[in-house]
Structure formats: C-alpha cells, structure tokens
C-alpha cells in the first residue's frame, strides 16, 4: 500500500486545520483513502500528515499540483517535507 508522510510547520494550527478540512473532497477525489494527523508534542504548529493513497503516482500529482501549492500557501504552511512510502511489512506485538 502506498503512503505519504508530510512534516510541516504551520503558522497557526486552527487556521491550517480549517483549510485541511475544506480540502477533504479534493484529497479524496485525488486518491487519498485515509489519513492520520499528529503534531510534535512540544510544538502545536509542527504537524505531521500521514495518509494512505490509491497510488504513489496519484499522491505525487496531487501534492505537486499548482492547486495544492496555492492551498498550502492559504493554510500558512512553511516548507513542507514529503516522503512517499511503500509498505513492506505490518505487524502487531
């Protein structure tokens, strides 16, 4: 299964979250299947978006699109770091 891990600093989490929620349909139509949000324990404005995608190509097209660059700017995102990942193993202990 393909995944994307994005680590980014935002100007203000509540403002970023509003824009993130408004983009749910766009993300879904682009191929995002499910997501998880995390933030750094000592910095509420350092956000991690971990998501599962229908394909890595779909994820790359979406995250590198001009539309998403504009959405990130509107949301106050500073220098996001993207990791495109493929699952090799899953387990429970």
* Domain positions in the chain: 2-86
pLDDT digits (tens, 9 = 90+) for 54-64: 999 999 999 99
CATH for the 2-86 domain, from 3.30.70.100, 2.20.25.650, 3.40.50.9100, 3.20.10.10:
3.30.70.100
pLDDT digits (tens, 9 = 90+) for 40-50: 999 999 999 99
Burial of residue 74, with CB atoms counted within 10 A of its CB: 0-12 exposed, 13-18 middle, 19 or more buried: middle
> What's the CA angle centered on 12, arms 64 and 66, to 5 degrees?
15
| Rounded Cα distance, 45 and 58, in Å | 27
Three-state secondary structure call for residue 3: strand
pLDDT digits (tens, 9 = 90+) for 8-34: 999 999 999 999 999 999 999 999 999
| pLDDT number for residue 79 | 83
Residue 87 has pLDDT above 90, yes or no: yes
Residue 37 has pLDDT above 90, yes or no: yes
Three-state secondary structure call for residue 22: helix
- 0.75 exceeded by the pTM? yes
The Cβ of residue 89 has, within 10 Å, a number of other Cβ atoms equal to 4
């Amino acid at each position: 299964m393909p995944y994307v891990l994005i680590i980014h600093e935002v100007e203000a989490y509540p403002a970023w979250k509003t824009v993130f929620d408004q983009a749910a349909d766009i993300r879904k139509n682009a191929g995002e299947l499910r997501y998880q949000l995390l933030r750094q324990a000592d910095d509420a404005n350092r956000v991690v978006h971990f998501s599962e995608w229908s394909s890595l190509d779909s994820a790359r097209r979406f995250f590198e699109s001009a539309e998403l660059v504009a959405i990130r700017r509107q949301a106050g995102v500073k220098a996001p770091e993207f990791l495109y990942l493929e699952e090799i193993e899953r387990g429970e202990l």
